[in-house]
Amino acid sequence: MLPNGWQRTTLGDIGSVKSGGTPARSHHDRYFLNGKWPWVKTMDLTNSEILRTDELITEAALQESACKLFPPGTLLVAMYGGFKQIGRTGILRTESAVNQAISAIELDQINAHPEFVLQWLNGNVSAWRNFAASSRKDPNITRDNVCDFPVTLPTLGEQRRIAQILSTWDQAIAKAERLLANSLNQKLLLSQQMLTGKVRLSHFNASGQKRKTPYGLLPVEWEYRKIGGVATEVNQKLGDAAPFPVLSCTKHQGLVDSLGYFNKQVFSVDTSTYKVVPRSCFVYATNHIDEGSIGYQDLYDFGLVSPMYTAFKANADVSDAYLFALLKTEHYRQIFASATNASVDRRGSLRWKDFKNLHIPVPPIKEQMAIANVLTLAGSEGDLIKKQLDLLRKEKATLMAVLLTGKRRVHVHDAELEIQA
């Protein structure tokens, strides 16, 4: 049952739904060069306000193509691009054109508050996927789907207040996202400087002299060694022994417990050929190392990995934390990609016999540990910000669930806001 004063409607009933257009790329100089008007594409939609775009179009594009300008306050919905893009939204803050993969909704603002409807759409993304799943071809949605999209509207005053409340969370989330991006960039810069010896910790004696290596200029105090000289492959099969937890290697999170991460079994029922990986070993996806899929086994005393993975253990000459930080850099991802492309293996994998011949910079062990400690501290700041960001997103989702359904009502009293249970 709807709260008193609320009504069920559709986007088509509360607004005019129109499609965008794409000027011909073959006339780039005429339609895009020295453009004046923002032109929104699906990649510009961030479920929030749109202040600028990376492409502008000209007056000629508006006159000679299907492009048209939409006013500030227009809502945008992505219709194409697969399930990751479908239903992404935006709200124009400046007069702009949109491409043909986007529906533009100009609302009747006497009955519908644009910011509230934006929040409603963002809180009901799964409905777009239901429309798309019924498509016989690619998972897209149509203009009719957009027109038929269900919306529940409170009174205009309640819409405005709900939008204001949720906007407060949006602002906090956006701030946390900026802080996280800055933190990650700072760690990346610090890693690049410290792992190449461009910046060294003051309590280590440094002559200031460099020597040339394929990795670049390195301090003369540092060695430049093959991975096979500081690590050995781990290649023990489980056989008939009791099974251990199965691990998967991911690009961003490293090694994870496979069942817990995927919430289902994605590995073989028969794990007898799987490799046993003790704690403190490295594991990489032999066929996907060029994507940065490498992890460090610190989850269990022993774990199992697919035969398609390669495992190795560093010796006492190398700090595990230092080596892991080095191998996770973008520079080494590119090295892995080049080595994979040069491999004679027809499947494009990078097996141990080739991996072990790659070189790494090796500072004295105490300096390695000090570098790793600095990078760990830098990473902990980002981890804390990410936890705060996840909490904000969860809090907003919880608030949306009660405000957009009327389980909690907002009351407007002389421009003040109260939330009642």
Geometric angle at alpha carbon 332, from 331 and 338, rounded to 5°:
100
Of 41, 169, 164, 155, the C-alpha closest to 99 is 41
Of 183, 305, 208, the C-alpha closest to 254 is 305
More confident residue, 322 or 128: 322
Q: pLDDT band for position 158 (50/70/90)? A: very high
Identify the sign of the CA torsion 145, 151, 157, 160.
Answer: negative
pLDDT in tens, 320-371: 999 999 999 988 999 998 888 766 554 568 999 999 999 999 999 999 999 9
Instruction: Supply the mean pLDDT for the chain.
Output: 89
User: Would you mind telling me the total number of residues written for the chain in this entry?
Assistant: 421
Please tell me the predicted confidence (pLDDT) of residue 215.
86
Q: Which helix (H) or strand (E) holds 362?
A: strand 359-362
Please compute the mean of the pLDDT values over residues 293-319 and round it to a whole number. Answer: 94
For 60-84, the DSSP string reads HHHHHSS---B-TT-EEEE--S-TT
Question: Which top CATH class is 7-153?
Answer: alpha beta
Geometric angle at alpha carbon 23, from 22 and 28, rounded to 5°:
135
pLDDT in tens, 217-254: 999 999 999 999 999 999 998 887 778 999 999 888 88
Please tell me the predicted confidence (pLDDT) of residue 170.
94
Establish whether domains 7-153 and 223-362 are of one fold: yes
The pLDDT of residue 265 is above 90: no
For 171-214, the DSSP string reads HHHHHHHHHHHHHHHHHHHHHHHHTTTSS--TTS-----EEEET
More confident residue, 240 or 193: 193
Do the Cβ atoms of 306 and 235 come closer than 8 Å? no
* Amino acid at position 239, single letter: G
Please compute the mean of the pLDDT values over residues 74-99 and round it to a whole number. Answer: 90
pTM over 0.85: no
Question: Which top CATH class is 156-204+365-421?
Answer: mainly alpha
CATH number for the domain whose boundaries are 223-362: 3.90.220.20
Please tell me the predicted confidence (pLDDT) of residue 416.
41
Q: pLDDT band for position 212 (50/70/90)? A: very high
Please tell me the predicted confidence (pLDDT) of residue 288.
85
Domain boundaries, given as residue ranges, for the chain: 7-153, 156-204+365-421, 223-362
